[in-house]
Amino acid sequence: MPKKYHITAKTAPPRFPAVGKYTTVEFREDCAGSCRECVKKKCVYGVFKETHEHALKMIEPEYLYVCQSCFRCVQECTKGIFSRGINPAYRNLGNDYWRRDILHRLWYQAHFGKIPVSGAGYRGPFTGKGFDAMWTDMSEIVRPTRDGIHGREYINTSIELTRRPRFLTFTPEGGLEGAFPSILEIPIPILFQWPKDLVKNTSLIASAVRAAAELETFLLLDPDDFTRALSPFIENIAFRIRPEDFPGILPLVQKCAMVEVSYGPDAVRLAAHIRKLNPGLAVAVGLPLTPDAPDTAVRLAGANVDALHFYASENGEETQTASPRFLKDCIQSVHLALVDRSLRQNVNLLFSGGIAMAEHMAKAVICGADGVVADTALAVALDCRLCFRCREGRACPMKLDEDVPLEWGKQRMVNLMGAWHGQLLEVMGAMGIRETRRLRGEMGRSMQFNELEEEIFAPIFGKRRVTEYA
């Protein structure tokens, strides 16, 4: 049995104070000052450890993501001087998809590399749009001591990025006929790419490729963003190639392990030409996630390519349509179109856009993806608040438009992926599945809110006129 894959997390505090969810009003003039055990010392989450420093600076503390809203301090203070409320700055974070609670969790995971746990329990909605309308089967959770991140059993989270041979042929002597194709495997079902519509510079790219190298995965990169400083990590770079990039890209193609060809009329011809130059190379095709994606996938599955990478919008929706579907439905349609034509084993499927949480990675695989590509979440890991000022040409308030420390940036991304990997292990352990590749397309191990609602309530109340939880 191979060695278990492990991601080493190291605490990487934010460079600037993060926006905390809670703020406090404390009437210090009413404090008796004679309590033998002040409630601040009893906080099990250590929220008030640095209160004295904040008092000296005459500013109210930002509690970041440490406070879990148990309200013990409010209830047990003998003088009743505490009052807790939501930070007004917190309310302005994010948007309808990249919600403020998601940003908060991503910051916490990038800081500590731990799975976020709320001491007050889950207080969110029962269901919602997109991935929130999909639940996973936890029927095997009765064995938590054996499975998951603390378990003794081996759970394989690796995926393949190269084509699988349809069948093997053998010689009369029993040996394998011909050369067995090389297999490119990564230990986690996730690749990287820097978001194209957010701030970008050489230090951010360098941090991302260092994180990809430590995690043994790939960073999808445009040739224009490649610099000589990235040469030591070229084996973890997958260049996105367009026809106009030739012949300048040829020296790099000879050194890397994977490339992605931009979809177009010459995509298949270009992929075949690249494979001749480097026969052991994994070749993917990158294309937009449009309503024609299933038909396009079927057509390309017959070509000599290893993977198809579909680009959704940053909110996980179809592009080039007035009525876009959400990512999970698009993944199912592409996956099932290949299954119906017995072509699913011919090609690997990658999807990007809207992958904001660890559960999105697991749910995308359940819907039929082989793996996902993280983008916006990487920027959030480096303190990005998604204010989108960079799109207006304005300075980044978190100074991401300046050089960031490479080691710090790398570790923040590694921590985030460590937390995501731990959550994937927990989900798979609770589902009784020991390999990510067996999780692919296992829709029977999930529950869809709209299907359950229609099955249970439609006979009584009738069907919805508009599906709110697509």
Residues 238-267: tens digit of each pLDDT: 999 998 888 888 889 889 999 999 999 999
**Amino acid 385: pLDDT:** 94
On whether residue 133 sits in a domain, the answer given is no
Pick the residue with more confidence: 197 or 42?
197
Check: CB of residue 381 under 8 Å from CB of residue 417. Answer: no
Pick the residue with more confidence: 272 or 118?
272
On whether residue 126 sits in a domain, the answer given is no
On whether residue 128 sits in a domain, the answer given is no
Minimum mean pLDDT among 42-51, 359-368, 375-384: which range? 42-51
Residue 173 shares a structural domain with residue 299: yes
The neighbour count for residue 56, using CB atoms within 10 Å, is 8
Question: What is the pTM for the complete model shown?
Answer: 0.90
On whether residue 11 sits in a domain, the answer given is no
Domain boundary among 92, 116, 147: 92
Residue 79 shares a structural domain with residue 167: no
Pick the residue with more confidence: 92 or 215?
215
**Amino acid 28: pLDDT:** 63
d(CA 179, CA 333): 34
The mean pLDDT value for 210-234 works out to: 96
Q: Of 363, 381, 380, 382, give the one whose Cα is nearest residue 372.
A: 363
On whether residue 59 sits in a domain, the answer given is yes
Minimum mean pLDDT among 22-31, 93-102, 172-181, 237-246: which range? 22-31
**Amino acid 29: pLDDT:** 62
Residue 183 shares a structural domain with residue 81: no
Domain boundary among 66, 92, 118: 92
Most confident of 11-15, 160-164, 241-245, 334-338: 334-338
Q: What is the mean pLDDT of the chain?
A: 87
**Amino acid 1: pLDDT:** 47
Q: Is the pLDDT of residue 35 over 90?
A: no
**Amino acid 58: pLDDT:** 45
**Amino acid 349: pLDDT:** 98
Q: Is the pLDDT of residue 470 over 60?
A: no
Q: At what angle do helices 327-340 and 358-367 cross, to 10 degrees?
A: 30
Query: Percent of the chain, pLDDT > 70?
Result: 88
Q: Which residues pair with 351 in a beta bridge?
A: 310, 372
On whether residue 362 sits in a domain, the answer given is yes
Q: From the centroid of its chain, how far is CA 445?
A: 21
Looking up residue 297, the CATH number of its domain turns out to be 3.20.20.70
pLDDT tens for each residue of 430-447 = 888 889 999 999 999 899
Domain boundary among 92, 122, 138: 92
Q: Is the pLDDT of residue 144 over 70?
A: no
Q: Is the pLDDT of residue 407 over 90?
A: yes
Minimum mean pLDDT among 33-47, 154-168, 203-217, 399-413: which range? 33-47
pLDDT band at 397 (very low <50, low <70, confident <90, very high): very high
d(CA 290, CA 251): 33
Residue 65 shares a structural domain with residue 183: no
Residue numbers of the domain that contains 52: 22-92
Residue 186 shares a structural domain with residue 311: yes
**Amino acid 63: pLDDT:** 56
Check: CB of residue 184 under 8 Å from CB of residue 160. Answer: yes
Number of structural domains found in the chain: 2
**Amino acid 467: pLDDT:** 55
On whether residue 302 sits in a domain, the answer given is yes
Minimum mean pLDDT among 52-66, 116-130, 288-302: which range? 52-66
Tell me if the bond preceding 291 is cis, omega within 30° of 0.
no
Residue 219 shares a structural domain with residue 344: yes
Residue 52 shares a structural domain with residue 163: no
Residue 400 shares a structural domain with residue 290: yes
Residue 266 shares a structural domain with residue 406: yes
Q: From the centroid of its chain, how far is CA 211?
A: 14
Residue 88 shares a structural domain with residue 171: no
Using CB atoms within 10 A of its CB, is residue 440 exposed (0-12), middle (13-18) or buried (19+)?
A: buried
**Amino acid 429: pLDDT:** 85
d(CA 149, CA 155): 9
The mean pLDDT value for 158-165 works out to: 89
On whether residue 166 sits in a domain, the answer given is yes
pLDDT band at 141 (very low <50, low <70, confident <90, very high): low
Residue 278 shares a structural domain with residue 382: yes
Residue 193 shares a structural domain with residue 303: yes
Radius of gyration (Cα) for the chain, nearest Å? 25
